[in-house]
Every structure is written in structure tokens, then in C-alpha cells.
Structure 1
Amino acid sequence: MQLVKVGLCAFGMSGRVFHAPFLKEHPGFFMSAIVERSKEESKDQYPETEIFRSVEEMLQHADIELVVVNTPVQTHFEYTKMALEEGKNVIVEKPFTVTTSEAEELVKLAEEKNLFLSVYQNRRFDRDYLQVEKILKEGKLGALKEVEIRFDRFRTEPGSKEHKENPALKGSGALHDLGSHLIDQATQLFGFPEKIFADVFSMKGSDFANDYFEILLYYKNNLRVRLKSSVFSKEAHYAYILHGNKGSFLQERTDGQEIELVAGATPTYNEDWTKPLNEPDGILNYLTADSETKRLLTSSEPGNYMNYYQEIYEHIVFGDALPSPGSEIIQNMKIIEAALESSKQNKTIVLSHY
């Protein structure tokens, strides 16, 4: 099996939870380098991996062909550009960059260098999202009319991460953080909308970055898609609500990969590794061909973030499709910028202008 040598730009939560375990367990990757500016926390788990004190040092001296840029979003543009200029392929954490113009510049540079640039949209591999995809492909809901996608939390106190909480920093806040997932799922399922109206602000107060957003996406055929997130949601809502002219589907957010990884679970290659569900997590209610109502409790199948890295590997070795290429994620950045502008001006934004 061809071995792909990888360098990880940071070993915070993102590195420890979402990247290093999968790179270690996938037989096609070897984690050659990790950047830890002052500590050596990775040494016990990854003794064969060389530690560097800066991204610059790693890019200049490490034996790597693929770089994972998993640093704060405000540094994504700088480090991704640096890696591309050094001739490295790049995986960059969502939300890609702070602005659309930065994203476009990086995509252009990657094309000029004949390198690939992929954005780590791991929640395309969540069990709940995959179940929504499955239900839509079955066509039981008919023509969709209204969709809501939510990602709520109960975190009434600000976190400790400056790059996410400081409103003075571009790219901070829930819209760039969680919004990048919801927007990506909406565009994957329904394409690029025609118009947008958004409400984005901080429920904790103006001293903190936005922690609430509600985005209304306008599509052709009278479809409306609402994306919403709040940190003051003690009781869970359905994460996905879909209504069509033949039925409805309600799906809970039940993917447990992040929880299990934080607790120390080891993901496995080429098989399911998360805990099974104890009970159904969805409701499908629709009209049959005989116009009879059929109501079913549904259970989603396990998701696996390893599949993202498998797709990366297959792209490198076999030339298969690249998962979430930067050129595709530019559209998500445009929606984020339009949402901020809509909220600021309190008006609907026509997205053809972006």
C-alpha cells in the first residue's frame, strides 16, 4: 500500500480528536510531523512522529507531502498559502478561511501549483446527516417545501478560546464555527440558494462573538431552508426537519463520534467503530402510492470520519474525486459573508451579487 506522509500543524483538540487518531489508524497514512510550539503531548501516543516548534520549521524540514492546517481560522490563509508555496497538498479545517477573497486566492494558488486543497467538512460523515441524505434519495417526501437544520448547545458561559470568542477577530463566533457545517449540509443537499436573510448576534452580549444565528435560504420552487444555532438550548430540538408535499421527516442529532473520540475511543479502519443506537432516532410520516398514511420510526446507520481520509487517500493514489475541494467550499464562504451583511443591514441579500 502506498504510504502518504502527513504533517499536522497543531495538536490541540482538533489535532488530538479529529485528525491524529484517523491518520494513525489508516494504513495508507504516516504522520511524519506534528507542530507543538512548547509541549510534547503527542510523544506518548505517536512516538515515531517528529515534533516541530513552528509550522515554518515543519514545512522546511519535515518529510511530508500532505499538510493538515488545523490552527485557528485566523491563521488558515497564512499557513495554507505557505504550505502550497512549499509544494504540499493541503487539508484545511473548516470554515476554510475568514473571507471569500482569501479562499479564492488559495484555490487559485493550488490550481497553479497542481496541488489539491480540501476542506475538512467531517460532518458530511455524521450518521444523522447521512440518514437525511438517504431519506431524500428515497423520494418519499415528494417535493420539498420547508427544511430546518439546527445545531444547538447549552453553553451560557464564554469559552476559553480567544479566536472563537473575541468579537474583534474576524472569523470568530458561531456563524463561522458551526454555521460552516450547516451551510455546507444545506448546499450539499439543495445547492446554492438564490437569496438569504439572516439574524446573527451574541446572546451573551456585545463583548462576545456571535453565538446565535438564524439564516433563511430561498430556493426555486418555493423551497425555504432555515439554518439555526443557539447556545441557550437546554432541551434538544430535532436537528433536521423536512416537510414535503407527500410527507415529513424528523431526525435527531445522534452522531456520537466526537463524544467517543474525546473520551479516548480509537477509530477503526474499514469498519464501524461507534456505539450502536439503543432506540430509533427519526420519524418518517408519508403518503403511500395508495394515498395511505404510513408512519415509521427510523434508525440511522453509523457514520465514520475515517471515510473522509479514505476519500483523500483514494484521490491521491487512484485519482478519485477529492472530498470537499476548496473550489466547492467557496460557495459556503459566500453565504457566510452574505449572512453577516444581511444581519447588519436587516435586509434580504440576493446571492448572485456574491
Structure 2
Amino acid sequence: MTGSSPRPQPEPSGSAAPAGTPAPALRVGLVGYGLAGSVFHAPLIAATDGLVLDTVVTTDEERRAAARTAFPEVRFAASPQELWERAGGPEALDLVVIASPNRTHVAIATAALRAGVPVVVDKPIAGTAAEARGLAALADERGLLLSVFQNRRWDNDFRTLARLLADGALGEVQRFESRFERWRPRPKGGWRESGDPREIGGLLYDLGSHVVDQALTLFGPAVLVYAEADVRRPGAAADDDTFLAVTHANGVRSHLYVSATAAQLGPRFRVLGRDAGYVKYGLDPQEADLRAGLRPAAGRPWGEEPEELWGRTGSGESPHTGGGTPVPTLPGDYPAYYAAIADALRGRGPNPVTALQAAAALDVLEAARRSAREGVTVRLSPATPPHASDL
């Protein structure tokens, strides 16, 4: 289910394990083997105890060859429909992961749920909050897990900041600044940079999905949204330099930046509290390691960064001059997401990221898109999140 306590799913297909022996691994189908599928989902699924990457859906021969090299036992399908045809049979899947282009997420997730298969969807789950809530309702109706892959909740800096806030190390937080900036002066092309609204491209819905989800996770519901979205690079068709100002119901103000045009990168986090601040530079290393072909494995350090990259806490001091107190960065832990999914499927834990949480982030993204287009500040009502009105 979409809430915090998903209904236990049926045991994996095949004969039941004898008493006292481990249950058979849950079989996973992966739809899409582009960047998201090959770099993030496939390696993390394969590294998770209790999960096995069973089938990859792609018709691209180069991607099939790459998947076969990385996972020699994997099978292939030409379309998601082939997965649904296996439902209820001896080769039925226990989970389908949707890592295909954004425009396909809703249709494939709907088909999977109607076929009785639990689902993980890469962010953004949908183009609108209404579509996300529709999927949540369908999953609830069918009693199936529906989760959204918001891996940045397991970034090293985010985990460290969450610990600082839980410990009260900064006092009452007044402003949260979060930057996900890159220097990519030339567009790469592809659907992610398409100006076609049907593709759900652009940085607002790409990196913006991460920074908004993190802000809501830390500081709760948003009530006001203001945004500026620009297309800066020659030849670009979708927003590539975007800013959001979010006021949370508890009074915290989040200033969120996503950009492909940042010639000088700002701090990843700058958090200002009544008693102290926290400043952290640099990105979590897990994405770079996964792109380089490194894989999480038991007994091997993962998600760790060197001491010189640790953030600092303090007041009235600049981290550039060594001011403040270094804060050891907790290791990043992307594998924790799929470990939680395995537990949720077996009824041993909650859904780590629900569709309704993703819908709340989409409320903010939709409001930001409207704000940038119309030049207004948009008010969100927590009681009626799908709608917004001008101040």
C-alpha cells in the first residue's frame, strides 16, 4: 500500500521454503535500462539481500549486452506487457521497477497495479499531483506496495543534517538553503532536456524533485511557493536554471536552487538556526561511484567521504577560513532504500517513500511552474493540496 504500513505481499512464486530456511528471493522486473535503470536501480537491486534482478525490459541491443555483462543470469522482455502476462503464474514477478522515461511512468505503473504487481517508480512518479494520488488510490484499492525512488533521502549530507536537526544542534531552524548545481554549458539533448510538456523534462522536475522532497521531509508541508525558471543555454528547450522559495507551515523558509549553468558551485547545504548554522560543500559520492562501476557490497565501505569534505557547524564564522566545528559526515546509504522495499514487501517494515509523499512534492513543483510562468507567489492549502491560488 501507499501508506506507512503496506499490506504483506504474497510469498515469492514457487514452492514454499521449508521451516527455518530463508525465504526465496523476491523476483524483480526492471522497465528501462538507461541512466536510471543501469546506474541506480539494477546495481542496488542486485546488492540487496532478498531481491534478485530477474528481468530487464528493453529492446536496445547495446543495453541488453551491457545488462547481460553486468548480470549474466538476467532475462529480457521487449515490453512491460510481457511481465503482466506472467502474473499469477510460476514465473510471476514480486516487484516491478519503472525506470523508463518520465512520460511513461503513470501508464506503466497503472498497468502493473492492475495486474497485481507491487511497484517502485523512479522520480517523478507522475507529471501532476492528481495523477500521483490516482496511482496511490489504485494501489490502496489493490492492497499493493507503491513506492517512489527518492534516493537523495539517503545522501550522506542529508543524513548528517537530519541527525543534527534531531539532536537540536542548530536550534530552531529559520532558513534552509539547498543547491544541486552543475556546470554543463552545452545541452546533451534527449527527453530530459526536451521542451515538450509531455516529456516532463527540465530541471524543475528532475533535480527539483530531489531538493523539494528533501525540504518537505525535513521541515514539513509547504504553504507558499515562489519560483524563477529560466532557459539559459543556447539550444536548450527546457528550464536549466531554476530557483524556488518555499515557506513551510512551521515558518521555515527553504531556498532551493537547481542549475546546469553554475560556473562556480555554491554550498550543497547552508542551514541557519537560532543557535548555529551548518554549511556543507560537495555532492554525495554514491552517484559518481555507481557511474564508475563500483558496487555496494557487505564488508566494504560505501558512501563515505574524506574528512576534508566534512561540513561545519558554528556561528559567525566562515567555513572557508576553517571556522566552526567539523561535523563527521554520515555514510551515504542508497542500498537502504531497496532493503526497506524488501522488508515492506514481506510485511516487516513501512514503505520508505509513499506515493502521497511524492504527490505533496508535486504540489510544490506544479505551484513553482505556475509561479515562474505567471510571476506570482502561490499559496498551497494543506487541506486541499491539489489546488493553489494567488496571494
Shorter-chain TM-score bucket reads: over 0.9
Code of the residue aligned with 2:264 in structure 1: it is E
2:40 maps to: 18
1:290 maps to: none
Are residue 70 (structure 1) and residue 99 (structure 2) matched?
yes
C-alpha RMSD of matched pairs (Å): 1.8
- Unaligned 5+ segments in structure 1 are 288-293
Are residue 351 (structure 1) and residue 380 (structure 2) matched?
yes
Code of the residue aligned with 1:54 in structure 2: it is S
Are residue 53 (structure 1) and residue 81 (structure 2) matched?
no
User: Do the aligned residues in 2 keep the contact of 1:26 with 1:269 (CA within 8 Å)?
Assistant: no
* 1: CA distance, partners of 2:288 / 2:333: 13
1:108 maps to: 137
* 1: CA distance, partners of 2:139 / 2:148: 13
* 1: CA distance, partners of 2:222 / 2:197: 28
Are residue 158 (structure 1) and residue 187 (structure 2) matched?
yes
1:190 maps to: 219
Deviation at 1:201, TM superposition (A): 2.1
1:167 maps to: 195
Within-5 A mapping of 1:327-338: 327-338=356-367
User: Over residues 145-199 of structure 1, what are the superposed CA-to-partner deviations in whole Å (9 max), with x where a residue is unaligned?
Assistant: 11111100001111232x2111123311000000000000000000111111111
Deviation at 1:205, TM superposition (A): 5.3
Larger deviation, residues 214-223 vs 49-58: 214-223
Code of the residue aligned with 1:165 in structure 2: it is E
Code of the residue aligned with 1:319 in structure 2: it is R
Please give the secondary structure, in 2, of the residue aligned with 1:309.
helix
Deviation at 1:342, TM superposition (A): 0.8
2:229 maps to: 200
Deviation at 1:17, TM superposition (A): 1.1
User: Over residues 106-158 of structure 1, what are the superposed CA-to-partner deviations in whole Å (9 max), with x where a residue is unaligned?
Assistant: 11111111101000000111101111111111212211111111100001111
Within-5 A mapping of 1:286-297: 286=315, 295-297=324-326
Which of 272, 288, 291 is the equivalent residue of 2:301?
272
1:225 maps to: 254
Aligned length: 347
* 1: CA distance, partners of 2:300 / 2:292: 19
* 2: CA distance, partners of 1:88 / 1:313: 14
Deviation at 1:295, TM superposition (A): 2.6
* 1: CA distance, partners of 2:252 / 2:54: 47
**TM-score normalised by L of structure 2:** 0.85
Code of the residue aligned with 2:192 in structure 1: it is K
Please give the secondary structure, in 2, of the residue aligned with 1:44.
helix
* 1: CA distance, partners of 2:251 / 2:43: 43
Code of the residue aligned with 1:328 in structure 2: it is Q
Which of 159, 172, 177 is the equivalent residue of 1:148?
177
Which of 16, 38, 58 is the equivalent residue of 1:36?
58
Deviation at 1:347, TM superposition (A): 0.8
Which of 26, 44, 53 is the equivalent residue of 1:4?
26
* 1: CA distance, partners of 2:164 / 2:236: 42
Deviation at 1:47, TM superposition (A): 2.0
User: Do the aligned residues in 2 keep the contact of 1:280 with 1:298 (CA within 8 Å)?
Assistant: no
* 2: CA distance, partners of 1:274 / 1:332: 26
Q: Percent identity?
A: 30
User: Do the aligned residues in 2 keep the contact of 1:279 with 1:299 (CA within 8 Å)?
Assistant: no
**TM-score normalised by L of structure 1:** 0.93
